[in-house]
Amino acid sequence: MTELLDQFEHAVVAGDADKSAGIARAIAEGALATPDEVFEHLGSAMEKVGSKYETGEYFVPEMLRSAEAVRLAIELLEPYLFTRGRDQSGVIVMGTVKGDIHNIGKNIIVLALRAAGYDVHDLGVNVSTMKFIKAVKETSCDILMLSAFTTSTKVALLDVLTALEREGLRDRVKVVSGGASHSEEFAAEVGVDAFARDVKSALAVCRELLQR
């Protein structure tokens, strides 16, 4: 099985959507891997793509081909992932903060959380502070998850936290942050409740926060 998942990861990194879609279909039809395994490999594949982009081995077209391979694989795997056991419950609002349009990692996390049974309201990218506040009020969510990628959008993350305080909502909702170029130190500095680096830790953090 590891071999199939490695091939899956490799096809995504290579941007070979036909191959990754074929493997995704096989996984879905034969229940050949657990959702956690699938998410881990998708996350890891795109992290490799990100590194290749940063080192100049890949350019935007290569990266977008890999992103398309992920999108297609997710589409094919979705029905299979959602028929698996749903063992969690909780409402989560998620979005990428204002000024930021990165969504590949966020989308993987959203899918993983939904597959684990959470009711996830995905607000998309470039989400204003007001939109986050409105969603927290309307959904009475347990957890607010904020994606922030660039250094400049960290300011937007702080703005959401300040607005939560101002609106008297900070004690009602747990805030989790994540995203490339984000660190544990920064998360502690801005005062979120938890930080997660990848799919596995995001799931673990949500599980833990909802048990408190």
Name the residues that contact ligand B12, by CB under 6 A.
Answer: 43, 46-47, 50-51, 53-54, 60, 63, 67, 99-106, 108-109, 145-147, 149-151, 176-181, 196, 198-199, 202
Residue among 29 and 102 whose Cβ is closer to ligand B12: 102
Residue among 60 and 212 whose Cβ is closer to ligand B12: 60
Residue among 90 and 105 whose Cβ is closer to ligand B12: 105
Residue 29 CB, nearest approach to ligand B12 (Å): 25
Question: With helix as H, strand as E and coil as C, how does 85-103 read?
Answer: CCCCCCEEEEEEECCCCCC
- Which residue has its beta carbon closest to ligand B12? 105
Residue given tokens 């956690």 in the structure block: 36
State the Cα–Cα distance between residues 166 and 76, nearest whole angstrom: 43
The structure tokens listed for 72 are: 């297609």
State the Cα–Cα distance between residues 97 and 145, nearest whole angstrom: 10
Rg (CA), the chain: 17
Residue 159 CB, nearest approach to ligand B12 (Å): 16
Residue given tokens 């680096």 in the structure block: 197
Residues 6+ apart with CB under 8 A from 65: 15, 17
Residue 123 CB, nearest approach to ligand B12 (Å): 12
Residue among 45 and 76 whose Cβ is closer to ligand B12: 45
Residue 116 CB, nearest approach to ligand B12 (Å): 13
State the Cα–Cα distance between residues 93 and 120, nearest whole angstrom: 6
Residue 58 CB, nearest approach to ligand B12 (Å): 8
The structure tokens listed for 129 are: 């502070």
Residue among 99 and 117 whose Cβ is closer to ligand B12: 99
